[in-house]
Amino acid sequence: MNIDVSIANVCMLAGKIMLESGAETYRVEDTMNRIAVSYGLSNAQSYATPTGIIFSVDRVEKTNFVRISKRSTDLHKIAEVNSISRKLTGDELVLSEALLLLEELNLAKVSYVGWIQIVSAALIAGCFTIMFGGEWADFIPSLVAGGAGYAAMLWFERFVEIRFIAEFFASFVIGLLAILFIQNGSGVGMDKIIIGAVMPLVPGLHITNAVRDLMAGHLVAGLSKGVEALLTAFAIGAGVAVVIAFI
């Protein structure tokens, strides 16, 4: 296989995994460029957006493109790609070995199973309620509402690929359960229960990445991620607002 083709394959696959796992676009481009430079391609060109990657081994060579259609948050995969890229640049791996490792990582399901995510979201929701000034009587209602809301989001995503609708549905469930708990005397502060329960849905990583991309000069990526985070926040707020308005 042509050495330039091998480098392009490694760079594109590394960038694809990182973007799909929620990495910042400037980090994706930096990783791809470092791999290319370590193999003597000083003029390698890479351009990443939240929905696609463009890469060329030189200014006048053919351009490689891959579209990113699904994105999630998987910091473990990002760390694994960083580890592979460091080994490549440190001559601890050859291109063929790196490509094999990246292909295995791309196919791997390293995220936690659904029930662990739901339990974690429930505990996070309860703890946030207490942190935001809620009473201990609000801990269990927030725990249940947060876990149920996150489970509803995971379930709804199986049928509708539009994540904003799934988040709207999840916040609707959270708002409904919070009201039911308060009406049954199982909680004290409805606002604290709702705030804690929606925290697992809040796009904190998207907001952080948007700011970091903007500070790094990646205006297109930063603005698009900022808008995505804004839409997510709107969907969460709208779901709760609909419940409060009609019940």
Query: What is the number of structural domains in the chain?
Result: 2
Let me know whether 221 and 163 are in one domain.
Answer: yes
Q: Same domain, yes or no, for 212 and 123?
A: yes
The answer, yes or no, to whether residue 108 has pLDDT greater than 90, is no
Q: Which of 85, 107, 129 is the last residue of a domain?
A: 107
| Domain match, 84 and 130 both | no
User: Residue 154, Cβ neighbours under 10 Å: how many?
Assistant: 16
pTM (2 decimals)?
A: 0.81
For 6-46, the pLDDT digits (tens) are 888 899 999 999 999 989 898 999 999 999 888 888 788 88
pLDDT for residue 220 is more than 80:
yes
Domain of 166 in residue numbering reads as: 114-246
For residues 226 and 118, state if they share a domain: yes
The residue-averaged pLDDT of 186-206 equals 90
Q: State the average pLDDT over residues 149-155.
A: 93
Residues 92 and 184 in one domain: no
Confidence band of 2 (pLDDT split at 50, 70, 90): low
**133 with 96, same domain?**
no
Give residue 1's pLDDT.
46
Q: Judge if 190 and 242 occupy the same domain.
A: yes
Domain boundary among 107, 130, 154: 107
135 and 234 inside one domain:
yes
Query: Dmax over Cα atoms in the chain, in whole Å?
Result: 70
What is the per-residue pLDDT across 53-102, written as a single tens digit (0 to 9) for each?
Answer: 999 887 777 888 999 888 888 888 999 999 999 998 888 888 888 889 99
Report pLDDT for 145.
95
Same domain, 27 and 96: yes
